């Protein structure tokens, strides 16, 4: 599946998440847990990626724990992934989510994981990585997305209306049209 095919499905899932479950983002002083929000996103992603698995907190690489020699973590469990289990070539999207209150303290680990998950050549080679800064707001434009491609940060957007920006940066960095990937 090409990046140009992945982006609209991902954006559509965020639109549905904020349309149907927006109350989750401002329940209580700190909002609801990130696991509840990422599960709902995973639910909407599974409806769009019917021929792939969408897993939350998936810590396996084959039959072993997800690890990477360049990341100083014992093991890694991404918040949401779109993939086909045990088939590296079908690793499409990896999403790491952090609530804004824990963002600064957790950014180093989040960044390192997304670089490892998207690095080529690498152990995982996800086509796209995204760090999602979850805000205590029902307004999706206040939620930041930091995109990763090929082991590097690509660009920053909100979690809505990101297709044009990500596509433009993709083409700029790789020197080819997004439909070619």
This prediction has a pTM of 0.91
Encoded tokens for 107: 């950014």
The residue ranking higher by pLDDT, 136 or 80, is: 80
Per-residue confidence band for 120, with pLDDT thresholds at 50, 70 and 90: very high
Confidence bin at 72 (pLDDT 50/70/90): low
pLDDT of 148 > 70? The answer is yes
119: left (phi over 0), alpha (psi -120 to 50) or beta: beta
């Amino acid at each position: 599946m090409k990046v140009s095919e992945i982006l609209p499905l991902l954006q559509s899932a965020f639109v549905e998440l904020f349309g149907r479950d927006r109350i989750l983002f401002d329940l209580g002083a700190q909002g609801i847990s990130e696991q509840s929000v990422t599960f709902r996103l995973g639910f909407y992603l599974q409806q769009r990626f019917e021929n792939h698995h969408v897993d939350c907190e998936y810590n396996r690489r084959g039959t072993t724990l997800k690890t990477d020699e360049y990341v100083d973590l014992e093991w890694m469990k991404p918040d949401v992934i779109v993939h086909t289990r045990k088939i590296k070539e079908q690793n499409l999207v990896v999403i790491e989510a952090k609530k804004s209150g824990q963002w600064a303290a957790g950014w180093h680990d989040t960044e390192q994981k997304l670089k490892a998950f998207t690095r080529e050549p690498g152990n995982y080679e996800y086509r796209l990585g995204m760090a999602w800064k979850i805000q205590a707001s029902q307004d999706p434009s206040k939620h930041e997305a930091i995109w990763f491609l090929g082991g590097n940060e690509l660009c920053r957007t909100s979690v809505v209306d990101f297709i044009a920006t990500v596509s433009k940066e993709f083409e700029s960095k790789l020197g080819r049209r997004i439909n070619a990937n």
